[in-house]
Structure 1
Amino acid sequence: MSRGQFYLDKANAKMFGVCSGIADYTGVDAIWVRVTAVLLTLFVSFITIPIYIATAIIADSKPTYLYSDAEEERLLRKMRRRAARSGRVHSDLSDIDRRIADIERHYSTSNSRLAAEIDSLR
């Protein structure tokens, strides 16, 4: 359904919301816009990729007051999933840092021969 101005539709987005924004603007189903974009990219020209990226950077996101209640709830769920995923990444990186520190501590304290060789090099 066209609302007068083009916006990125983050609630129905697969990547940046460009295709779902075009679908919302033109009133065409988003799957057809996505299929058309892929076919244009593969068979006509790869210029569609920079155009897609430029549109994602330049276009404004859809204001929250234009979302229906279901779309707004879907958008909030996506945001919560992203926040949880970033928390898991932070946790995984912290775990890796701790394990590397344990390895360093093991080799620097428990290997007396290695410590003696390092001291002899000084």
Structure 2
Amino acid sequence: MNVAYQPPSRTRFYRDKRNGKVMGICAGIADYTGFDISLVRITMIAAVFLSSGSILPVYFIAGWLVPEQPRELEGTDVQEREFWQSVRRSPARTARDIRLRLKDIDRRLADVESYVTTENRSLAREIEQLR
């Protein structure tokens, strides 16, 4: 059977065995949603008690079916991880935020360009002093 290689997706749910305790499901949920891992674990324990243990088979089935987090995604820094969590929560809002940041950068670049290209005697004087 020939299976095509799928590159790891930063928007997919993975088990996080490196930070996990039992199968990495709670750590994967915490990484996927951005919640604190302790909060996810406490919620899982509460769910086990409230469901009289009937959620445990779901947990183990998820641990068996959900793929492990690829090594390429393990070494991401905090800022990049938060960015991808925001993409998973609301892709449209993240795209809008990126668009707004790029517009702000473009506006600031235009201000710098107009400052440099216009007739500016003080800037010309500063350049002459540097020579």
Q: What do you get for the CA RMSD once the two structures are aligned?
A: 1.6
Q: Does 1:33 align with 2:40?
A: yes
TM-score by length of 2: 0.49
- Within 2, Cα distance between the matches of 1:41 and 1:69? 31
**Partner of 2:19 in structure 1?**
12
* CA shift for structure 1 position 69: 7.2
1:42-101: CA deviations, max 9, x gaps?
Answer: 02342210010000000000000001179xxxxxxxxxxxxxxxxxxxxxxxxxxxxxxx
Name whichever structure is richer in helix by fraction.
Answer: 1
Q: Does 1:55 align with 2:62?
A: yes
SS at match of 1:52: helix
Q: Give matches, 1:1-122, under 5 Å.
A: 3-68=10-75
| Percent of residue pairs identical | 37
- Unpaired stretches in structure 1, ≥5 consecutive residues: 71-122
Runs of 4+ in 1 over 2 A off after TM superposition: none
- Within 1, Cα distance between the matches of 2:29 and 2:54? 17
State the aligned residue count: 68
- Unpaired stretches in structure 2, ≥5 consecutive residues: 1-9, 78-131
